[in-house]
Amino acid sequence: MIVRRYVVKEMPEAVASIRRELGQDAVILSTRQIRVRKWLGLRSERRIEVMAAAREELAASAGASFGQALKRAMAEPGERTASSLRSEPWSQLAHELAEIKRMLADARAQDAPLEEGGDKPLQRWNAFLQTEGVDAVLAERWARMALGGAKSPGMRGGSVEDLIDAIEGDLGALAQPSPIRRDSRIVAFVGPTGVGKTTTIAKIAALHVLAGQRRVGLLTTDTFRIAAVEQLKTYADILNVPIAIADEPEQVPSALASLASCDLVLVDTAGRNFLNPASIEQTKRMLDPVEADEVLLVISLATKPADAVKIANMAKPLCVDKLIFTKLDETESVGMVPSLVALCQRPVAYVTTGQNVPDDIDILSMRDLLSAWKEVGGDG
């Protein structure tokens, strides 16, 4: 008896393969929803497992027609066996069912997690974290902590929840979001070109204007490109807030003086190549006279994790207080966030999630952010 197993996303995919491989009259024996593991066994995705047999192998009256079986399968994907193979001699039927069961068991074994024991769970968490963008040393540390503190050690050596607990515990207070303080008056935004500094400033300015509690002013030292000044001016016009411009460090004090009536001044800086020490030096020259109460380093989540680490290291002379992560909408890997928080020992102020001003900005705890992993680590 030819019985084949198909694992597909959608039924029509299986139907096409079954027809092609087992003929037009093939019979669907069973369908059920399964989860297949990806990413070294840590991600799992829903699939439909379809067992099908070539029709000529069955007795003439056996089973539902392909079409009927398909309809049923679509209507209620669930575990089913070919209960309608009535005209087969019982012994033959029993034999075939045993064969199907064995094949299903084999197939499940292939999907099953790796055995416990040895360092496999450790390696798997470690690999998962690194794939998610966590620095290698931290990945190993957090994998060990997750296994050590696992509440459910039976499950592949800890669950995603254990991992998140471990990271949150390790970061302590740094795992809590840290938006701009109430008592900060001058807040500067630094970071590489194109990460979203100006857009993020516009979002934060808009939210404060909408809240109506603080008089917001904008200062830009980004006169490197005409378009950059225009961009911030446009936002200032829309929000009806004052804007000052400083071309040179010497102009900063007078520009700030023109914003004396504001109790929150958001300072935009030129996007520069943060991998170049000379660029950092230039940014620092502009930033020093600003005397910011808080300096926020803006990093795009679309950056390669290794580059983000370099950027964060290069930015040290700028005395960064907090991190902003932009473009969460452009990635599925959030491991860079706890990794940089740990490496810089600085909390996250905001996370931005798109181009819309002011909607696409969030104040997220590390737990909220990492909860995205629960999706991929499900044990279905």
Ligand X SMILES: Nc1nc2c(ncn2[C@@H]2O[C@H](COP(=O)(O)OP(=O)(O)O)[C@@H](O)[C@H]2O)c(=O)[nH]1
354 binds ligand X (CB under 6 A): yes
271 binds ligand X (CB under 6 A): yes
Give the range of 51-59, 124-132, 194-202, 211-219 binding Mg ion by CB under 5 A: 194-202
353 binds Mg ion (CB under 5 A): no
Instruction: Identify residues 88-107 at the interface with ligand X (CB under 6 A).
Output: none
Give the range of 78-86, 192-200, 273-281, 333-341 binding ligand X by CB under 6 A: 192-200
Instruction: Identify residues 330-349 at the interface with ligand X (CB under 6 A).
Output: 330
Instruction: Kindly give, in sequence order, each residue whose CB lies less than 8 Å from that of residue 243, ignoring residues fewer than 6 positions away.
Output: 217, 218, 219, 220, 232, 233, 236
Sole binder of ligand X in the list 355, 359, 379, 380 (CB under 6 A) = 355
Binding at 258: pick from Mg ion, ligand X, none (beta carbon under 5-8 Å per type) = none
Nearer to ligand X, 193 or 223 (CB): 193
Sole binder of ligand X in the list 230, 288, 329, 368 (CB under 6 A) = 329
In the complex, the smallest distance separating the C-beta of residue 199 from Mg ion, rounded to whole angstroms, is 8
Q: At what angle do helices 336-344 and 160-171 cross, to 10 degrees?
A: 20
Sole binder of ligand X in the list 197, 208, 272, 346 (CB under 6 A) = 197
272 binds ligand X (CB under 6 A): no
Instruction: Identify residues 7-66 at the interface with ligand X (CB under 6 A).
Output: none
200 binds Mg ion (CB under 5 A): no
Sole binder of Mg ion in the list 198, 221, 300, 339 (CB under 5 A) = 198
Tokens 């009535």 -> residue: 86
Number of residues that bind Mg ion (CB under 5 A): 3
Q: Which residues bind ligand X (CB under 6 A)?
A: 191, 193-199, 271, 326-327, 329-330, 352-355, 360
